Chains A and B, each alone.
Chain A
Amino acid sequence: MEVKVKFFATFRELFGGEKEIELESGSNIQELLNLLCDSRQRRQKLFDRSGKLRPYIKILKNGRSIQFLEGVHIELEGKDIQFLGGIHTELADGDVVAIFPPVGGG
C-alpha cells in the first residue's frame, strides 16, 4: 500500500516537502516513522534517546491528530499514560499523514 506524507515547517528542510511511501499493508504510524528516519539526524529529530516520539511533534492522519485516534487513557505502573494508541494507529492505502514540529519564535 502507499501513503502520502506531508512535512511542514522546519521538517521540510530535513525530510523534504511531500513523499509517497510504500508500506506493507497493516503498517502503523510507528513503522512509517521508522522508515522515514533513515539517518541518525532524522531519527534524532523525531525520537528521543529511549526511542520515544518527541512529545511536541504533531502527526495527523487524514486531518486528525493521532493523539485522538485509537487514543486510550490507561494507567501503567501507576502512571497515567495518555493517548498511547496514537503512534500505533494503523494506516491504509491512500492515507495522508502530516508531520511537523511547532515553530516558536516571535
Chain B
Amino acid sequence: MLTKDELKRYERQISIFGEDGQEKLKKAKVFIAGAGGLGSSISTYLTVAGVGKLRMVDNDIVALENLNRQVLHWDNDIGKKKLESAAAKLKRMNPNVEVEVISETINKGNIDELVGDFDMIVDAMDNFAARYVLNKAALVKKIPLFHGAVHGFYGQATTIIPGKTACLRCIFPEAPPPTIPPVVGVTPGVIGCIQATEVIKYILGIGGLLENRLLMWDGLKAEMDEVPLEKNPRCEDCGKEGG
C-alpha cells in the first residue's frame, strides 16, 4: 500500500501509470554496479521515482577529479567512501527508498552473492572486465542487465534480456584495451538517465525497451543513432544456455 506521502510525492507520475504502477516500483529491487558518473544519475532518478530497494556496490574513495561528473559526491565528500556519500544523499532525496550499500570490488567470485535475489542489474561500471562479470551473473540468474558506457561526449546503452536478446558478450566479444577515458559530466548524465528510463519501463511493463538495439549518443553533434544487434549463436557466454 502506498502511504499518503507517497501518493502526494509521486502524484505527477501516478497520473501516467497509476497507483498499481507505483506499487510495482515500490516492490522492485534494483542492483546498481558502480557509484561513479553513471551510478550517480541512475541512482538519483531511481530514488526519486520511488524504486523500493536499491543496492549499490562500489569500492572507491571520492577524489577531487571525480567531481566533474559524479554528481552524488560533493566537495566536502573528498576522502570518504563513495557509497557512504551516495547513500547519505539518496536517503535525503527520498526517505521512502531503502538504499543498501556494499563496499566491495565486484568480481566473478562474489557477484552471485552480491546480486542475491535482486530483480535486475544496472551496469554503471567503468571497465569491460567487470561488465562481463555482470553479464554472466545476469545470464545465470536470468535477470535483465541494463548496459551503459561513456567516453568524452559519446555514450552507448542497451538492454539485455537473457534468453531473448543478444548478451553483452554477443555484442562485444572482446574488450577494448583499458583506458582512463575523458568524460564530460553531462554524458553519464544522459546515458544514466536512459538506463534509469529502461529500468522504470521494465518494472512497469510499458513502452518499448532497447532490446537488441544499441543506442549511440553523440553529445557533440546532438545526434542519437541506433545499431541493430543480434545474438551470437556461438557466444561463449550465452550460446549454449541462452536459447
* Contact status B156-A9, CB under 8 Å: yes
Question: Which residues on the B side are within 8 Å of A12 (C-beta)?
Answer: 154, 218, 220-221
A72 to chain B, nearest CB (A): 11
* Contact status B172-A56, CB under 8 Å: yes
Chain B residue with Cβ nearest A103: B151
Given A12-B218, A60-B227: A104 in contact with B232 (beta carbons within 8 A): no
Within 8 A of A (CB), among B153-195: 154-156, 171-176, 178-179, 181, 183, 188
* Contact status B155-A103, CB under 8 Å: yes
Question: Which residues on the B side are within 8 Å of A106 (C-beta)?
Answer: 34, 36-39, 123-127, 148-150, 188
Query: Taking the complex as formed, is B242 at the interface, i.e. its CB lies under 8 A from any CB of chain A?
Result: no
* Contact status A105-B181, CB under 8 Å: yes
Stretch at the interface among A19-27, A32-40, A62-70, A87-95: A62-70
Q: Which residues of B are at the interface with A, using a C-beta cutoff of 8 A?
A: 34, 36-39, 123-128, 148-152, 154-156, 171-176, 178-179, 181, 183, 188, 216, 218, 220-221, 225, 227-230, 232, 234
Q: Which residues of A are at the interface with B, using a C-beta cutoff of 8 A?
A: 6, 8-10, 12, 17, 55-56, 58, 60, 63-65, 67-68, 73, 82, 98, 100-106
